Amino acid sequence: MSVLQESISLKPYNTFGIPVNARYFAEIVNEGDLVQLLNSDLIGEQKLLILGGGSNILFTEDFNGLVIKVSIPGIKSIEDGNDVVVTSGAGVVWNDLVQYCVQQGFGGIENLSLIPGTVGASPIQNIGAYGVELKDVFESCVAYEIATAKTKVFTYKDCQFGYRDSIFKNELKNQYIITSVSLRLNKIPDVNIQYGAIKDELANRNISSPTISDVSAVVSDIRVSKLPDPSTIGNAGSFFKNPIIDQTQFDLILKQFPEIVHYPAPNGRVKLAAGWLIEQCGFKGIISGETGTWRNQALVLVNHGHATGQEVYSFSEQIVVAVDAKFHVKLEREVNIL
């Protein structure tokens, strides 16, 4: 049975390092405990927060409800021809799963090396980096419905994945707790090195036929050079999503800002680099009280030590207003605001 704690600090449980408290807190290490908890009186009485590594959350106030921290361990794999289906407990640290797969020679998630957080959260926003998204290897996940304590298997189609998006952020928001995720990986890996920064770094290292281990190492090094380490500077990665706009709106912006960073997006739309937009508004590397943007990446908001969630949120609102005023583009937050 999981131990129910009362009035605990969530500071160690969010990578922004915001010092708020939770009224109740329970850590789940197996499905039996989860079912017991879901059948208890607390469910229905208390508002709930399902928590993994807290690396995509900004707390703006105390959480006056029950936090369920999902820490279910375990990785197993089943071979299927040239493929292997790897199933991981939701509480496994995402990068531990990546490193396990790289060591076993299972290809497909090496480009997602060093993304913080847990495996259970990976389908929620369809994590992505360096030309790969979780959806590219996703087989299925198992989740418990909070209202009934019953399990459901979600297939690729069920999850309705999009850019930093899935059904778990929309119709099924806060309704399911993911307990395991299965990925279909390749035993004869075909590396994906289309992303410019990976290609350049492999060339710098004179690696012409990269292995998945090389790609993992290069991606990890690029990330360390660009992004602040949450163990020393609180942050939650990209604070906003890269905006996707239609071609007509893009053509108008392009006339005024011919050097704008952009990429093709599905359905003839255009994706803009939010970091570039924010930098053009003069926000890169600025310090505002205890918060600010990272010096190497304007899209990452940071806690310089004593920021409150309200302070970070208000600062993010200043950025939204400035980008809207200059480019007529409305930035959407990627980070979950609580």
Give the three-class secondary structure for 266: helix
Which one from 77, 164, 180, 182 is the annotated catalytic residue? 164
Least distance to ligand EPU, CB of residue 251, Å:
20
For 228, which DSSP code? -
Q: CA of 171: how far to CAs of 78, 91, 127, 146, in Å?
A: 32, 24, 19, 14
CA atoms of 208 and 189, how far apart (whole Å) = 15
Q: Which amino acid is at 274?
A: A
CA atoms of 238 and 107, how far apart (whole Å) = 26
Least distance to ligand FAD, CB of residue 213, Å:
19
Binding mask 124-153 for ligand EPU (x = CB under 6 A): -----xx-----------------------
Check binding of 87 to ligand FAD (CB under 6 A). Answer: no
Contacts of 173 (CB under 8 A, 6+ apart): none
Residue 27 falls in the annotated catalytic set = no
How many residues bind to ligand FAD according to rule CB under 6 A?
Answer: 32
Check binding of 56 to ligand FAD (CB under 6 A). Answer: yes
Check binding of 69 to ligand EPU (CB under 6 A). Answer: no
For 270, which DSSP code? E
Check binding of 260 to ligand EPU (CB under 6 A). Answer: no
Least distance to ligand EPU, CB of residue 273, Å:
3
Q: CA of 205: how far to CAs of 110, 243, 281, 282, in Å?
A: 18, 33, 35, 34
Least distance to ligand EPU, CB of residue 53, Å:
13
Residues forming the active site: 164, 238, 334
**What does the binding site for ligand FAD look like in residue numbers (CB under 6 A)?**
15, 49-57, 70, 90, 115-118, 120-122, 124-125, 127-129, 177-178, 227, 230, 235-237, 336
